[in-house]
Amino acid sequence: MYVSAWSVSSSLTATDAPMCPDLMNPVNGGVAYSGSPSNRAVGAVATYTCTSSYTLSGVAMRTCESTGQWSVAATPVCQLTS
Has residue 57 been placed in a domain? yes
- pLDDT tens digits for 20-31? 999 999 999 999
pTM score, whole prediction? 0.76
Has residue 15 been placed in a domain? no
Has residue 74 been placed in a domain? yes
Q: Domain span at residue 43? A: 29-80
Has residue 59 been placed in a domain? yes
3-class secondary structure per residue, 25-55? CCCCEEEEECCCCCCCECCCEEEEEECCCEE
Residue 15 has a pLDDT of: 58
Q: Please give the tally of structural domains in the chain.
A: 1
CATH code at 34? 2.10.70.10
Give burial (CB, 10 Å; 0-12/13-18/19+) of 46. Answer: buried
Has residue 34 been placed in a domain? yes
